[in-house]
Amino acid sequence: MALTSVKLLDISYKDCPPELAKGTVTSGGSSLPASCYLITGKANNPSGKTLYDADVFGRIYDANNEPILQNRSRVGSIPEIPPGVSEFEVRISVPSDQPTPLKLKQFKASGFTGKVTPIF
């Protein structure tokens, strides 16, 4: 299984639909209110093979250029990316007190040509 880089294009975000946003809280077990967003875009898989478990990396800043995800650049994953260009979306939670619009920078992904099975 080879790790393959994937270029992400046309990156933007939108509010989550109500069924995804209901009860959104920040990570870390706290119950601070959060806003739910979907990062959307297109993934360009040049490998000619379907990729699995692709990690999505990027930097997200609020309207004041403060980082949204402190000390981490992994924003989520895409379960499957077919060869060529396809659309994707990744759900994120942002503390409600961070002002928008969000700024999305340096987005990229990498996935495997075979399914990753955890070893226990």
**pLDDT grade, residue 117 (50/70/90)?**
low
pLDDT score for 119: 60
Residue 100's CB is within 10 A of a number of other CB atoms, namely: 12
Contact 58, 104 (CB under 8 A): yes
pLDDT score for 71: 79
Positive or negative CA dihedral for 89, 86, 8, 49? positive
Q: Are strands 84-95 and 34-45 parallel, antiparallel or unpaired?
A: antiparallel
**pLDDT grade, residue 3 (50/70/90)?**
confident
Q: For 69-114, how does the pLDDT look when each residue is reduced to its tens digit (9 = 90+)? A: 877 789 999 999 999 999 999 999 988 889 999 999 999 999 988 7
pLDDT score for 112: 87
For the domain covering 3-24+31-108, report its CATH number: 2.60.40
CA of residue 112 relative to chain centroid, distance: 17
Distance CA 77, CA 80 (A): 9
pLDDT score for 43: 97
Q: For 23-80, how does the pLDDT look when each residue is reduced to its tens digit (9 = 90+)? A: 554 555 556 788 999 999 999 999 999 999 999 999 999 999 999 987 778 999 999 9
The domain limits of the chain are 3-24+31-108
Prediction pTM value: 0.83
Element (H, E) at 18: helix 18-21
- Residue 113 has which token pair? 């040509």
